[in-house]
Each structure stands twice: as structure tokens, then as C-alpha cells.
């Protein structure tokens, strides 16, 4: 008996499980690294899978043209599945939404905004960053979407904890110099005085102190391991030519002041597996990803402004009722369905999938998030403050300010004036757009001064809970057993997919991995039927 490579791997995977599969793939040179193994393990369905099986690709209706829905149809299309996507909005992408000049936004209460942005700026209202290890990067490569660096951490951006009594924002570099410096001073002193002798050998102590002297840029033993500031904090006058060594930024705050400011509690963010530099963004706007997926699978397969009104599982397929762009009720039947709408929207869509599915769909809690895009007539963050991309973090209700990771040195630019979640997002959502802008500007002036108001040209704000057919930023599960597991299995002829069915909620990678899982499950089912 001879095996194709794919058939062989499938057999190994079925009998030996994922571990054996990856090990075998490694031996075959197909799994370059352990990290990449989970991603390379996905093999798209292909037409040849059907040869000699007597089976054929089926008709599949996909609900939702967000990243999960588009990827589902794209991957199924590779094997010749006949897919139709129903999308309630008049655009593809779902939460992956890039707003440009001329675009209109409508919120649930009917209020509208029209973006007045100039041609060279865009606003990623939803996702704005991707990590190198995410499958999103693989899709960008496959679809020919060019990526560029997204600066998620910038030593020149600020931290401002007003509630901790900070008199003024401090640059990340300064905060790190002070926190690392004083922590190193303390730990060196404790180590040297024998406080850790129960834990450390003499050699350990020596090595630890060597590390701390560099890590904290502190003095030696005769200097009492003292942290006394230095160039790492920054300069009030930069080093120059000839006789100009520069003037280091002072005064250095006391140890007690540094701990009281709470700046150190910000540092862990950039160590997160999903947030650590280097990160990416598509050139020209995040929507390059859904646009490329839609183009690859063919626009004719996507019915926009088509709102799902009922899902009926049938003995031999599924029927989906929807309201089309003209408000007419229409019905569509298919062999199988992949529902990628948000769970809370599915939960209020009539269906016959049973009370357990209904209860499961209603289980996750919906989170809020909001953003405002502020276009400025001048890139003052670059010219006046030497900030080229990156993020300022605050405890103000704007939470964070993002500087653009594109268009450096150009004329105009767009700053994200708030990106907040939870109660802060709800507070902004409750305001009309003009008031959101006013509040964001008032808060942002505490970081950047009057130019933050005076150089503003126009703005657009998004409150994700108020976006029609989306109604939330992302969801959270009380647990990953029960409801979550139930919806990760098909209900009759209906499979589910979306970031909400992954361990990467609020990431496109979660939507893409979930789509791949639904595609794999569905295809195996068709081959086995």
C-alpha cells in the first residue's frame, strides 16, 4: 500500500495524535520549528481529496464576511466547495475596519459621522497590530499583502499616571531608567549585604551583581551601588559636536517618588507573547487583509447588506433566511453552514439548533472598546517631540494615545486619541461624537499641551458596542468548558467559527485559526459522509 504525503500524515495524526503528527512532520522536514508546527499542520482542502472517494465538494453558506467568514470561504474554495457569504454590513471585514476620507459611520441610535480625512491618512478603527508568530502573517504572505513594522513600544512615548500624583508625563525611557536603576540598587545592596545568602552561592551573588550593574546602570560597590540617573533617562540638551557633551535630563526623582508614580507597573505589557515587539501592520490599512481575502475568493460569492433572520437545520442540510439589500426576505439552502457572526448576535437570531446551543451562544460576556482617530495638520509628535510611532499609556479615561507607524516626516498624520475598553469605553460611547472629541482633546492636552487642540483638523470615533450587526469589541468566556466546547462542535449542519471560539480572542489570528478548524472539521465530515 502506498501513501500520499498528505494521506500518510493524516494517518499518523489520527492514530498517534498531534504530537506524533508534528514529530513526523519534523522528520519529513515539514515542521521547521515547534512554534510553527501548529500553523503548518493545517492543510487546506484540495480537489484531489475527492478523487476516488465518490464524494464531491458541497455547497456551504457562510454567515458573516469578517475575517473568520472570509477565511472559511477562501480555504473551502481551494477544494471547490461552492460558498456563499451573507454579510449584514455594506462592506467586508467586520471589526477589521479601516476608515478613510468620505467613509460614513452610523451607530445604533442612528447618529452618523462622515470621515473628512485627507488622502494620505487612514484610521484602523478595529485591529491595528499583529505579532510575528500569528497566522495572520502567513495569510498576508499568501495573499500578497505587504506588511510593515507597527511600533508597539517606543522609548520616546510617554507614561502618565495622573492618579498617582505624577506632575507631568514621563518618557518610557526615563521611567525604565529610574525603575530598573533603583530596583538594581536595592537588589545589589541586599545581595552584597548577605540578605540572600540562603538562596545564592558566592558565585551567584557575583553574577547577579554584574547583571544588575548593567541592567540598572548603577555604581559599583564602593559607590554603594547607587543609581544616579545618566544618559539613559534622556537629555535636556542632546549631545552634539565639539565641546557639547549634552545635558542629561534631571532632576532624578527619589526612589520613593519613582515607586509612588507606579510607572513600573506599565512595563509588563510589552513582554506579553501577543504584544512584544516586533509587530506588524499591513501597508495602507488593516483592511488590506479582508480585501485581499474577498478578492481571492471572488466578490460574487459575497452578498452584502444581507441580514440573517433565521437558521434552520434540516435533515439533509440547512436553510438560511435573510433580508436582502432591498429589504426582501429570501431563503438559501446549502449542505452545510459556517456561522461566524458574533455569539450575542447569533443568540438573538431565530434558529432550531436547540436550547443547549441557544444557552451556549448567550454565555459569553460582551466587552466594550472605543477609538477616536484625530487628524492633525502637522506631525507635531515627530517635529516637536521626537516620537515616531509607538504608544503613550495613561490612567486618564483616554487610556492610550497611538502615534502613526507610517507616513513619517510627511505633512499630515492621524493619531489615535483614545483606545479604551470597559467603563472608559462606555463613558465615551454614551456621548455624541463632538463630545467624545472634546473630552479626548481635553485629556490629551495634559500630555501634549495646546497644540493637541489647535492643530486638529478632523476626527472620527467608533464605539464598538454601538456598531450595527457587531455590537461589541470582543467577548469573554466564564470558562472554556461547557458552552465553549459545545460551540466548537457542529450543531446539526451548522459549524461555528470566529475569534470567540479560540484562545486568541480579540485577535484576527484567533478568527483565522478558528476558520481553519471549522474548515478542517467540515471537510473531514464531508469526506467521511
Q: Which residues bind ligand PHE (CB under 6 A)?
A: 129, 274, 506-507
Percentage helix, strand, coil for the chain under 3-state DSSP, each rounded to 5:
40, 20, 40
Minimum Å distance from CB 63 to ligand PHE?
23
Rounded (10°) CA dihedral 85, 88, 89, 94:
-60
List, as one string, the DSSP characters of 58-85. Answer: -EEEEE--BHHHHHHHHHHHTTT-EEEE
Give whichever of 129 and 448 is closer to ligand PHE, judged by the CB atom: 129
List, as one string, the DSSP characters of 365-428. Answer: EEEPEEEEEEEESS-HHHHTT---SEEEEESSTT-EEEE-SS-TTSS-EEEEEEEEEHHHHHHH
Minimum Å distance from CB 279 to ligand PHE?
9
- C-alpha atoms less than 13 angstroms from C-alpha of 127 in its C-beta half-sphere: 31
Minimum Å distance from CB 344 to ligand PHE?
18
Residue number of the CB atom closest to ligand PHE: 506
Over the range 243-255, which residues count as b (16 or more CB within 10 Å of their CB) and which as e? eeeeebbeebbeb
Minimum Å distance from CB 474 to ligand PHE?
7
Give whichever of 463 and 506 is closer to ligand PHE, judged by the CB atom: 506
8 A C-beta contact, residue 18 and residue 40: no
Give whichever of 129 and 439 is closer to ligand PHE, judged by the CB atom: 129
Give whichever of 491 and 506 is closer to ligand PHE, judged by the CB atom: 506
The sign of the dihedral angle between the CA atoms of 288, 293, 299, 303 is negative
Minimum Å distance from CB 468 to ligand PHE?
21
Minimum Å distance from CB 335 to ligand PHE?
34
d(CA 122, CA 118): 8
Give whichever of 129 and 291 is closer to ligand PHE, judged by the CB atom: 129
- Distances in Å between the Cα of 526 and the Cα atoms of 44, 58, 81, 377 are 14, 8, 11, 56
Give whichever of 60 and 463 is closer to ligand PHE, judged by the CB atom: 463
8 A C-beta contact, residue 463 and residue 431: no
Q: Can you tell me which residue has the cell 540638551?
A: 237
Q: How, if at all, do strands 279-282 and 147-150 pair?
A: antiparallel
Give whichever of 270 and 274 is closer to ligand PHE, judged by the CB atom: 274
Minimum Å distance from CB 194 to ligand PHE?
41
Polymer length of the chain: 529
Give whichever of 471 and 521 is closer to ligand PHE, judged by the CB atom: 471
Minimum Å distance from CB 273 to ligand PHE?
10
Minimum Å distance from CB 366 to ligand PHE?
14
Give whichever of 95 and 303 is closer to ligand PHE, judged by the CB atom: 95
Amino acid at each position: 500500500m502506498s501513501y500520499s504525503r498528505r494521506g500518510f500524515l493524516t494517518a499518523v495524526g489520527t492514530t498517534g495524535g498531534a504530537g506524533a503528527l508534528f514529530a513526523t512532520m519534523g522528520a519529513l522536514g515539514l515542521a521547521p520549528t515547534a512554534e510553527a508546527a501548529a500553523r503548518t499542520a493545517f492543510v487546506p482542502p484540495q480537489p484531489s481529496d475527492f478523487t476516488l472517494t465518490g464524494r464531491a465538494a458541497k455547497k456551504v453558506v457562510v454567515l458573516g464576511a469578517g475575517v473568520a467568514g472570509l477565511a472559511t470561504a477562501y480555504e473551502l474554495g481551494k477544494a471547490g466547495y461552492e460558498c456563499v457569504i451573507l454579510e449584514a454590513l455594506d462592506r467586508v471585514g467586520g471589526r477589521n475596519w479601516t476608515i478613510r476620507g468620505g467613509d460614513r459611520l452610523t451607530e445604533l441610535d442612528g447618529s452618523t459621522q462622515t470621515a473628512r480625512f485627507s488622502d494620505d491618512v487612514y484610521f484602523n478603527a478595529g485591529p491595528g497590530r499583529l505579532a510575528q508568530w500569528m497566522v495572520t502573517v502567513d495569510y498576508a504572505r499568501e495573499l500578497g499583502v505587504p506588511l510593515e513594522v507597527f511600533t508597539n513600544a517606543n522609548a520616546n512615548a510617554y507614561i502618565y499616571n495622573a492618579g498617582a500624583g505624577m506632575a507631568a508625563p514621563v518618557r518610557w525611557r526615563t521611567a525604565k531608567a529610574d525603575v530598573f536603576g533603583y530596583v538594581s540598587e536595592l537588589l545589589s545592596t541586599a545581595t552584597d549585604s548577605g540578605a540572600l545568602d540562603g538562596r545564592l552561592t558566592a558565585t551567584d551573588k557575583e553574577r547577579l551583581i554584574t547583571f544588575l550593574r548593567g541592567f540598572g546602570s548603577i555604581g559599583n560597590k564602593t559607590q554603594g551601588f547607587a543609581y544616579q540617573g545618566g544618559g539613559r533617562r534622556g537629555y535636556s540638551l542632546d549631545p552634539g559636536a565639539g565641546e557639547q557633551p549634552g545635558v542629561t535630563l534631571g532632576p532624578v526623582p527619589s526612589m520613593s517618588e519613582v515607586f509612588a508614580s507606579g510607572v513600573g507597573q506599565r512595563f509588563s505589557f510589552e513582554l506579553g507573547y501577543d504584544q512584544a515587539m516586533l509587530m506588524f501592520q499591513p501597508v495602507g490599512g488593516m483592511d488590506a487583509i479582508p480585501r485581499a481575502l474577498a478578492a481571492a475568493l471572488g466578490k460574487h460569492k459575497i452578498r452584502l447588506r444581507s441580514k440573517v433572520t433565521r437558521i434552520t437545520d434540516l435533515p439533509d442540510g440547512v436553510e438560511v433566511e435573510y433580508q436582502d439589500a432591498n429589504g426582501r426576505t429570501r431563503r438559501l439552502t446549502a449542505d452545510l453552514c459556517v456561522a461566524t457572526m458574533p455569539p450575542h448576535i447569533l443568540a438573538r437570531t431565530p434558529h432550531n439548533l436547540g436550547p443547549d446551543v441557544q444557552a451556549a451562544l448567550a454565555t459569553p460576556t460582551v466587552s466594550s472598546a472605543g477609538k477616536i482617530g484625530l487628524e492633525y495638520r502637522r506631525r507635531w509628535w515627530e517635529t516637536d517631540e521626537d516620537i515616531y510611532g509607538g504608544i503613550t499609556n495613561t490612567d486618564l479615561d483616554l487610556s492610550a494615545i497611538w502615534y502613526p507607524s507610517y507616513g513619517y516626516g510627511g505633512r499630515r498624520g492621524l493619531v489615535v486619541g483614545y483606545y479604551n475598553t470597559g467603563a472608559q469605553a462606555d463613558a465615551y460611547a454614551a456621548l455624541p461624537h463632538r463630545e467624545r472629541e472634546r473630552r479626548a482633546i481635553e485629556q490629551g492636552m495634559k500630555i501634549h499641551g495646546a497644540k493637541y487642540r489647535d492643530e486638529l483638523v478632523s476626527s472620527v470615533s467608533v464605539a464598538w458596542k454601538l456598531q450595527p450587526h457587531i455590537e461589541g469589541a470582543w467577548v469573554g468566556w466564564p470558562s472554556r468548558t461547557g458552552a465553549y466546547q459545545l460551540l466548537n462542535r457542529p450543531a446539526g449542519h451548522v459549524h461555528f467559527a470566529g475569534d470567540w471560539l479560540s484562545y486568541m480572542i480579540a485577535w484576527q489570528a484567533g478568527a483565522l485559526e478558528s476558520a481553519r478548524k471549522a474548515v478542517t472539521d467540515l471537510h473531514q465530515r464531508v469526506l467521511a459522509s
